[in-house]
Amino acid sequence: MSLLQIDEKNALYYEYDPPSGAGGKTFVFINPITGDCSLWQGLIGPALRKAGHGTLVYNFRGQAKSSFDPAIALDDKLITADLMRVIAELKIDAPIVVGLSIGGLYAIRAHAQGLKPSGIVLVNTLRKMSPRIDWMNRMCVRLMQQGGPTLLRDVASHVITSEAMHAAMIDDIFDNPSAYEGLAEDAGFMNLVTHMADTSWEMDLTGLDLPVLVTTGYQDRVFYNPADVDALFAELPQGLRLDIPQAGHMIPAERPKEFILALMGFADIL
Determine the pLDDT at residue 33. 96
pTM beyond cutoff 0.75:
yes
Whether the Cβ atoms of residue 140 and residue 154 lie closer than 8 Å to each other: no
Determine the pLDDT at residue 177. 83
* Length in residues, the chain: 270
Whether the Cβ atoms of residue 215 and residue 122 lie closer than 8 Å to each other: yes
CB-side exposure of 75: number of CA atoms within 13 Å?
A: 10
Torsion of CA 67, 72, 74, 76, to 10 degrees: -140
Amino acid identity, position 122: L
Helix-helix angle 102-112:76-89, to 10 degrees = 70
The residue ranges of the chain whose pLDDT is under 70 are none
Determine the pLDDT at residue 229. 98
Determine the pLDDT at residue 21. 84
Whether the Cβ atoms of residue 222 and residue 251 lie closer than 8 Å to each other: no
Coil, strand, or helix at residue 26?
strand
DSSP H or E segment with residue 198: none
